[in-house]
Amino acid sequence: MENPAHRRVIAAIRAIPSGQVAGYGEVARRAGLPGRARMVARLLADNDDPGLPWHRVVRADGRIAFPAGSDLYLEQCRRLRAEDVQVEAGRVRGMRPSPSLDEHLWGDPG
């Protein structure tokens, strides 16, 4: 069964262009459902559509959501690399952790 909110999330995931990634919370936000990151995760877990680019959804810090070494982890890693996405230590390059208070106040000294 599918709710209107579910369709939004699925659409948001399908909207992620190849070679790019988005966080769970990001997807939820784009779907007009701020704070529903867990919902995105649940939908993906329940998802059956092989055409859905689920591999483009990662954690907010760019890390793969699966435990390192697991089948799904390896699969996602493989798919991302197939799209020329730099993946290192289970983490996607280009994503950066949320700015800490220090960096936010003082700025990045570089």
Binding site for DNA (CB under 7 A): 5, 23-26, 33, 35-42, 44-45, 47, 54, 57, 59-61, 65-66, 72, 76, 89, 91, 96-98, 100-101
63: how many CB neighbours lie within 10 A of its CB?
17
Smallest gap from residue 84 Cβ to DNA (A): 20
Smallest gap from residue 109 Cβ to DNA (A): 14
Residue among 19 and 49 whose Cβ is closer to DNA = 49
Residue among 41 and 74 whose Cβ is closer to DNA = 41
Closest CA to 36 of 47, 26, 21: 26
Cα-based distances in Å from 87 to 22, 38, 53, 55: 14, 23, 16, 12
CA–CA dist 87, 78 (Å, integer): 9
Residue among 100 and 109 whose Cβ is closer to DNA = 100
